[in-house]
């Protein structure tokens, strides 16, 4: 039976995506959760899995085409006898509730079995939530439109499956830890349905003697171009520049590096800069905000998710370290290394590049004295870190050699004023130049 497969809701307000590359061809056999197509959203390039086992029919959305959520991408055939084309999601049982009885000894009822060949309808974020919570998404009843499984469905199923767990463990003789380890191994061995950033860009082939060549602007390069243009045409951007003396911070880092290495962590300056930035964001909250254009309101964020621009073979990607204010220097360093590696190798997940409230871009590793970074909208500010180098400076009427670098704070003048930017930068500098303030501010190393 032919079924239409439509571009699913990928979350985070994503309304459309560009078809970058089909991983299957018309007539190919596909299994449920097999990566089927690469789609570039304004967040990242993701691989969307097949919702069912069957054969690929007609590929409707061609490579390079921009499809909106709900547009048909491809038809899939589950081998049924009916010739009527249907939507995959329409056949999924909907509004099935998990029955519970207070004080009853009976097990909670699970979702009704899905018809053969019918796939699970759930966003990538919901699938990841299920994996993180150890929930078998196959057994979750979907209460959303068309039987879509929501985050709440997964969370409700967590309690149900935990109740059923002792019976399963008694029958198999496995401990909960053994079961979790087995699930992790199986997940690593099978194709993951969670969309991941893929290797979207390839080096152009240059023909000998060719005076010019034309390279299509698509994939991640198109998204970068669109987002940067939108940022410059939306925000009233201004850049404030100042300089930092890193000499004392370099000394502190050198003392802590061996402790970090003992735990397998490479300690860079970025964790210190992130924590210093968070201290400033708490003191100057409008730098940790966004604008609701429709309602003309400023949204102050009381959580601190710091993005960091990462240069990858596929272009610029901005992973996000969540809740930086709640983490130690060592925890941040570990996450930075992990997210950077995922970004460079194309394995980073959507939720790991979403939800940022403020961004830091370290241009200094590549050289240069001063830059004017473009705001990562909908955020209202971005901090640029430049190259650290030894320079002669005047301290107490004497010329001394210190480790100096410039910082560039680009901000949206619709939200904050230049005076506040100067105060923000001054406060940031005072923290970075006096590492003792990290301790006074309650900053933990591990």
Q: Quote the CA–CA distance of 194 and 177 in Å, as a whole number.
A: 23
Element (H, E) at 63: none
* pLDDT tens digits, one per residue of 109-123: 364 444 333 456 666
Question: With contact defined as beta carbons under 8 Å apart, do 319 and 310 qualify?
Answer: yes
What are 185-237's pLDDT values in tens digits?
333 333 334 444 444 444 555 566 778 888 777 766 777 788 888 898 889 99
Q: Confirm whether 240 is a catalytic residue.
A: no
Between 314 and 307, where is the model more confident?
A: 307
**pLDDT band (50, 70, 90) for residue 2:** confident
Closest by CA to 235, choosing from 360, 381, 357, is 381
Q: Report percent pLDDT > 90 for the chain.
A: 44
244: β partners: 405
Q: Residues 6 or more apart from 123 whose CB is under 8 A from it?
A: 8, 9, 10, 11, 148
Among the ranges given (11-20, 117-126, 140-149, 154-163), the one the predictor scored with the smallest mean pLDDT: 117-126
Q: In this structure, what DSSP letter does residue 341 have?
A: H
DSSP-derived letter for residue 277 is H
Q: What percent of the chain has pLDDT over 70?
A: 73
Q: How far is 112 from 101, CA to CA, in rounded Å? A: 18
Q: What is the pLDDT of residue 87?
A: 61
What is the structure's pLDDT at 417? 96
Select from 213, 182, 358, 373 the least CA-distant residue to 275: 358
Check 218, 233, 302, 413 and give the catalytic one.
413
Residue 11 burial by CB count (10 A; 0-12/13-18/19+): exposed, middle or buried? Answer: middle
382-413 pLDDT tens trace: 999 999 999 999 999 999 999 999 999 999 99
Of 197, 205, 163, 190, nearest to 310 (Cα)? 197
């Amino acid at each position: 039976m032919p079924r239409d497969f439509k571009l699913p809701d990928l979350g985070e307000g994503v309304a459309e995506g560009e078809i970058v590359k089909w991983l299957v061809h018309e007539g190919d056999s596909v299994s449920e959760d097999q990566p089927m197509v690469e789609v570039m959203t304004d967040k990242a390039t993701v691989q969307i899995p097949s919702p069912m086992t069957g054969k690929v029919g007609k590929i409707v959305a061609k490579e390079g085409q921009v499809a909106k959520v709900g547009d048909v991408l491809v038809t899939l055939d589950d081998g049924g006898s009916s010739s009527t084309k249907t939507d995959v999601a329409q056949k999924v049982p909907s509004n099935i509730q998990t029955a519970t009885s207070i004080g009853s000894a009976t097990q909670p009822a699970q979702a009704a079995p899905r018809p053969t060949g019918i796939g699970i309808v759930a966003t990538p974020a919901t699938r990841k939530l299920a994996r993180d919570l150890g929930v078998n998404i196959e057994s979750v009843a979907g209460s959303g439109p068309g039987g879509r499984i929501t985050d709440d469905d997964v969370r409700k199923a967590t309690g149900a499956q935990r109740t059923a767990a002792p019976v399963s463990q008694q029958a198999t003789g496995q401990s909960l830890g053994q079961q979790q380890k087995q699930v992790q191994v199986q997940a690593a061995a099978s194709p993951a349905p969670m969309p991941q950033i893929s290797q979207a860009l390839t080096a152009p082939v240059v023909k000998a003697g060719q005076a010019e060549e034309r390279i299509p602007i698509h994939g991640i390069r198109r998204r970068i171009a669109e987002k940067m243009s939108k940022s410059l045409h939306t925000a009233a951007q201004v850049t404030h520049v100042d300089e930092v003396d890193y000499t004392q911070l370099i000394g502190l880092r050198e003392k802590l590096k061996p402790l970090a290495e003992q735990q397998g962590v490479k300690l860079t300056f970025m964790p210190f800069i992130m924590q210093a930035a968070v201290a400033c964001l708490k003191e100057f909250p409008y730098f940790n905000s966004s604008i609701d254009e429709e309602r003309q309101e400023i949204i102050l964020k009381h959580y601190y998710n710091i993005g960091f621009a990462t240069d990858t073979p596929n272009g610029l990607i901005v992973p996000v370290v969540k809740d930086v204010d709640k983490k130690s220097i060592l925890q941040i360093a570990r996450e930075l290394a992990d997210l950077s590696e995922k970004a460079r190798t194309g394995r980073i997940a959507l939720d790991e590049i979403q939800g940022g409230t403020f961004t830091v871009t370290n241009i200094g590793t590549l050289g240069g004295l001063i830059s004017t970074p473009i705001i990562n909208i909908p955020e209202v500010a971005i901090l640029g870190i430049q190259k650290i180098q030894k320079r002669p400076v005047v301290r107490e009427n004497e010329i001394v050699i210190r480790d100096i670098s410039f910082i560039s704070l680009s901000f949206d003048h619709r939200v904050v004023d230049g005076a506040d930017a100067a105060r923000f930068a001054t406060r940031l500098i005072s923290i970075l130049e006096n590492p003792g303030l990290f301790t006074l501010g309650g900053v933990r190393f591990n």
